[in-house]
Structure 1
Amino acid sequence: MVVSFRRRAGLAAFAGAAATCMFAPVGLVLAGPVALLGLTLALRGTRVPAAAGIGVVFGAVFSFSLLWWMRAVGTDAWIALSLIETAYFLLLGPVVALVQRLPGWPVWVAAAWVSYEELRAGWPFGGFPWGRLAFGVMDTGFAPLLPYVGTAGVGFVVALLGTVTAWVVVRVAGLRRDGGNDAVRDRRVLGGSSRRTSRSAPSCCSPRCARTRCPRTARWSRSRRCRATCRVPATTSSPCTAR
């Protein structure tokens, strides 16, 4: 099934807004996995140029809404910083689209997201770590993992939860599509066999439509009643059919 770029971009915009809802003042913890789910599905099966555009849509919605508080410093600072943050997704989009072609792609997509967070946290100007998935789960069930795996590990777990959900969605959709294709194929095969049977069968199954031998020409012919009932043309022309 071919999905248009507009629908993919709409899904990416929704995912970007969901990612923002993970942080204060909303604070929806499950919004993080939902964001990764939407971004992964929006980028699945796309080419590099389209993936870059979809990544920019996600990054723009996420960055501009997350850094809304920067307007207190200045509108120009808010716009400039949001554009810098959005530029990272220009590269992340194609990477996510490409790694989905690999075996075990949910792990690779989660790793790509964590790599993006690490890169953004260190560059430029010392990094901008706002919006890391680990920062949105400080007071949740993911918090006990922080002393053991750090922010990168917790971010990977949250991202993996979203990508594995995307894998389940893709798998279920594939099974339903294959089942529908098999049903259509079976109907076509059965329809073709019935048509071939109806064309090749010389007589119908009703006893009153059985063929009778003409006593004069010794040919097999159908009665007029058979032709009127079954709408099957007579196969031979004989004195019996003329009566």
Structure 2
Amino acid sequence: MSHSGAGYGWRMLIAGVLLLLVTSAAAGTRLAADNRAWETLAAACGVYRHRSVVLFGDSLMAQMSLARHFGLAPYRNRSVSGRLAVDALPDLVKAAAEATDIVILLGTNDLGTGVSPEETVAAVERLGLAARHAGCRVVVCSVLPVSGEHLATRSPQVLEQVNRELAAMCGRNGLLFAEIAPCFADGQGRLRKEFSSDGLHLSPPGQALLAVMVRRAVGMEYADGALPETLCGRSNDK
């Protein structure tokens, strides 16, 4: 077998392993693989040769499987459960070093621990500017709705204010703003029941929807710093 043929065979073997892992995850036995291990396999297939999209969030993103939700696409997950935007700058700088694009989904933990809406937006702005300074294309996602006991610190009115200010901040700084929150909200601005079991963290359907929204946002280019309002692909239920 020629050298090129051997390389092809090796890539096919890796692809086969990836497929088995995805099948296992789809069967519900466990997550497809540890995200770092998945990245190692994806890198061996040359997935990150031209692009590396880093997911930078809290548990809402940390609980997503790269294999199940993104497959052999150039995504890396550097999200951490419990992460606060106000404390995340050192981690952001490290993540930016391996990224061409960064998707930021942070703020709900800040609000839940008493950080003001203004401070939360300012913290996300620092992260976005640091990523842009590192040469990354930056997508900032709106803070997702919550329900139940979590409404005490993250009411629809508070989240509306935060997301409005995040959108304005992105516009000022040339960052892309992905208004994905309406996709998860019911008619009262609360997190839809099918997307969460505790009113905060995402259920499997919620994770799947978030992955779709992220892929759509990353795949769009808009010079005015805003993604289209039709990002959800449907109108919010009334």
TM-score by length of 2: 0.28
Higher strand share: 2
Higher helix share: 1
TM-score by length of 1: 0.28
